[in-house]
Structure 1
């Protein structure tokens, strides 16, 4: 029989004025590096702080024994046809050493509760093609694939 390790997991929204924000920024920098972006700790902190301050992004952290080990970001937008709002999970990252321990599940549930409490009509998300672990999690949590929509983007950097 193996040893059971107990961990204290707490999920909550984090703001730039809290000490935990630095650890969340480090996780976000790890997330970006995973997807091939150069590390930029200072720029990440400035950008995340500005997004939160402007109300464009909320950041949720899952802390294990008091240290943030996973994060999710969420945005709110209009649900025009329904005359309401919808939330979207934009980013979700779990420190590789803390995967398969329920942190992502708890983050998604916390964002879903916050969205529902704010009156949102739905919670959406997207993930990279081929990210089977994420797809399995999201489908298990009750998300459904959206059919009948095409996702398009227009690059404005050279506009």
Structure 2
């Protein structure tokens, strides 16, 4: 297996996984919309996308991160918005391998932190993140104002 930083030539694989990810969260399938969204993010360099490719050459997992800045630390951080493993490739350690890669990759770049959120019901993801040293937020409360 190998991990690639997504480029335009990987668009179809990334878009396919992104559409499955959205369906996992209850959204209707929209392959064209997923493709357009990923293509726009890549073209504008809004996000960084990493693909995990299995030994057969198939992209079976992806992570999409958005760069930001931490004002308090005066350093960059990345928000891990999306992490998904294709159902056919689950329980094989792919998510852990991908997450470990992100920790190493961004640690080498002196990024302040990797921040993420997951559903309160996603116990498998919580166990993975905590096993990798992520800490559940205890100080700050998150608010959303839907527009």
Q: TM exceeds 0.5?
A: yes
Residue aligning to 2:2: 10
CA deviation digits over 1:22-49, x for unaligned, max 9? Answer: 1221111011011111111111111111
Residue aligning to 2:50: 60
CA distance in 2, matches of 1:38, 1:130: 20
Q: In structure 2, the residue corresponding to 1:82 is in which secondary structure?
A: coil
CA-based RMSD: 1.1
Q: Deviation of residue 119 (structure 1)?
A: 2.2
Larger Rg: 1
Answer whether contact 1:76 1:85 (CA < 8 A) is retained. yes
2:56 equivalent to 1:88: no
Structure 1 runs of 4+ aligned residues shifted over 4 Å read none
Unaligned runs of 5+ in 2: none
Residue aligning to 1:138: 129
Q: In structure 2, the residue corresponding to 1:142 is in which secondary structure?
A: coil
Paired residue for 1:117, among 108, 125, 128? Answer: 108
Higher deviation after alignment, 116-125 or 144-153 = 116-125
Answer whether contact 2:19 2:29 (CA < 8 A) is retained. yes
CA distance in 1, matches of 2:3, 2:140: 32
Q: In structure 2, the residue corresponding to 1:25 is in which secondary structure?
A: helix
Q: Deviation of residue 118 (structure 1)?
A: 2.6
* Corresponding pairs, count: 146
CA distance in 2, matches of 1:11, 1:100: 18
Q: Deviation of residue 73 (structure 1)?
A: 0.6
Residue aligning to 2:21: 31
Answer whether contact 1:72 1:89 (CA < 8 A) is retained. yes
Answer whether contact 1:22 1:45 (CA < 8 A) is retained. yes
CA distance in 1, matches of 2:51, 2:16: 12
Unaligned runs of 5+ in 1: 1-8
Answer whether contact 2:14 2:38 (CA < 8 A) is retained. no
